[in-house]
Amino acid sequence: MSITRFVVFELLALAVLAGSLLGGMATRFGAGSFAPILHIVPIVAAVAMVVLPILYFGHPKSPQRTPTPPPPE
């Protein structure tokens, strides 16, 4: 269940990122009153795509994560 939610949220952030980048490149929206929004939304979506894996799977150096023991020889 957790991996499904992660994939859904990551795809949503990717769709917002792609949509805002395409909207910013469009001459209709890129030069009008939406221009400030279309400059901020891609940055927020990119930050969300970077932060989501950390929130779902935890920071690798987190004290809650137990290290995996080496395989027996």
pLDDT tens digit string along 23-62? 878 767 666 777 788 888 889 999 999 998 888 877 666 6
- pLDDT (0 to 100) of residue 66: 67
Q: If pLDDT is split at 50, 70 and 90, which confidence band does 1 have?
A: low
Picking from 23, 18, 13, the residue whose alpha carbon sits closest to that of residue 44 is: 13
Tokens of 62: 């987190």
Residue 22 has pLDDT above 60, yes or no: yes
Q: Where are the domains of the chain?
A: 2-57
- pLDDT (0 to 100) of residue 64: 63
